[in-house]
Structure formats: structure tokens, C-alpha cells
Structure 1
Amino acid sequence: MNADQPRTITPDDLPEVITRYLTAHNARDAATAVTLLTDDATVLDDGKSYQGAIAIEQWLNRATSEFTYTTRLTNAQEIDTSHYIATHHLEGDFPGGTIDLRFQFTLRDGLIEHLAIEA
């Protein structure tokens, strides 16, 4: 499949590891979320990079407690069997009040190797 042409899929068609990660992330359960990452995982969010379980767990705890918000999965796409995009609509008390975020996942050996979150 051409990387330039993601294929829209249903949220139920996302790999289980991504669904479990998003559930933990939305529940603000950083301890569970990091168990779904490779040992050398990286997360890119808000222009900053976090690598490894400790740094990512600290980022998750900070990111999920900074503001109060609701999130709704609005779109899911498959680029290939290792690359997926899950778009979420957030509403809350953060600057601007609403935003659509693209969670771009790279998988390796059944776990999340890389996550980039972009508006």
C-alpha cells in the first residue's frame, strides 16, 4: 500500500495494541499505557520527544492531568500493517477549547514503537 494514501478503516479494525493504548491514555492510566510500548519507544508531542518508559510515563501523567477534556475517536486509517493513524476530537479547558489530534502509530513486534501526536 502506498504510504501517501492511507486507507480509512473502522476503529474496530485498529490493532488491539493501539485500542488498548488509547483506552489507557483516555483513562489517564499511564502505567498501563507504557506496558504497550517497546523498550526503546519514542513519543513526539507538542514539538518535544520522549524516549523510554520512564520519560513517556512522566509525559503521560503530565499531559493527561494538565487540562480537563473529553476525547472522541473520529477517524482511523491504515497506512500499512505497521503504521496507523487515529484521529481524536478533544474538547476541554485548554487554550482554544477544541482540537483534532492525529495519533500516528508505528508498531513493531506487536507493540508501539513510535507515536507522533499532531494537530
Structure 2
Amino acid sequence: MNLPPAVSALVAAQNSFDSVTYANCFSETAVVYDEGKTHRGRKAIALWIKASNEKYQSVMKPLEYTGHGNSGVLSAECSGTFPGSPITLKFHFDIIDGQIQHLKVTS
């Protein structure tokens, strides 16, 4: 599967629980929407993913990626210490200048 470099880096960072590298996949002004909450800016994203990693220990297995211009959707099997694990989630990306500008996680 051919993933954009920012998405590939994000998956690798998630799977190694590296919240700093994960956050660095995003622009300074990026926005993440997950579990009904919005996280704005790289610093907030780093705090969110660090807490999420500690709580869920989630790893991602990419299943399919569909891209159109600067946007794309990654379907990934996510497993961890959360109820219902594993589940398939969709990660909706907008990537600008090689960095993620927007991410929305849906089921």
C-alpha cells in the first residue's frame, strides 16, 4: 500500500507510542477531531496522543488508503486496551506541504 509520507510516519509513530514524532507529522495549526473532542495545534495534539497512548496502547494496521489531491482516507485496524478491540477506524486527512493539516477519526 502506497501511503503519503506524513501518513506513513504517523502510523509508525503510533505503533511505537512516540507522541512527539506523531505530533510532528502535523502542522503547527493542525486540527484533530477524535472521540467527540477537537485538538488544535501541534502542542495540543501531542498532549492528546500521549494521553491516548497511555490509556489505550493502540496500534494501527493500515488496510486501505484512498487519496484525492490533498485529502485522503486511511482505513486501519486498531487494537489496544479499549472495549471492542480490535476495530476498524477511518482516518480522514488533509495534507498540505507534507504535513497533516486536518485529521478526523471516524468508525
Question: What TM-score comes out, normalization by structure 2 length?
Answer: 0.90
1:97 and 1:54 map into 2 onto residues whose CA distance is 28
Query: How many matched pairs?
Result: 107
| Percent identity for Structure 1 against Structure 2 | 26
Which is higher, the Rg of structure 1 or of structure 2? 1
2:9 and 2:21 map into 1 onto residues whose CA distance is 9
**Unaligned segments of structure 2, at least 5 residues:** none
Q: Provide the aligned C-alpha RMSD in A.
A: 1.4
In the other structure, the counterpart of 2:53 is 64
Tell me the CA shift for residue 43 of structure 1.
0.4
Matches within 5 A, 1:77-116: 77-78=66-67, 80-116=68-104
Is the counterpart of residue 47 in structure 1 residue 33 in structure 2? no
2:47 and 2:13 map into 1 onto residues whose CA distance is 14
Question: What TM-score comes out, normalization by structure 1 length?
Answer: 0.82
2:24 and 2:81 map into 1 onto residues whose CA distance is 29
In the other structure, the counterpart of 1:76 is 65
Q: 1:49 is paired with a residue of what secondary structure?
A: strand
**Unaligned segments of structure 1, at least 5 residues:** 1-10
Tell me the CA shift for residue 70 of structure 1.
4.2
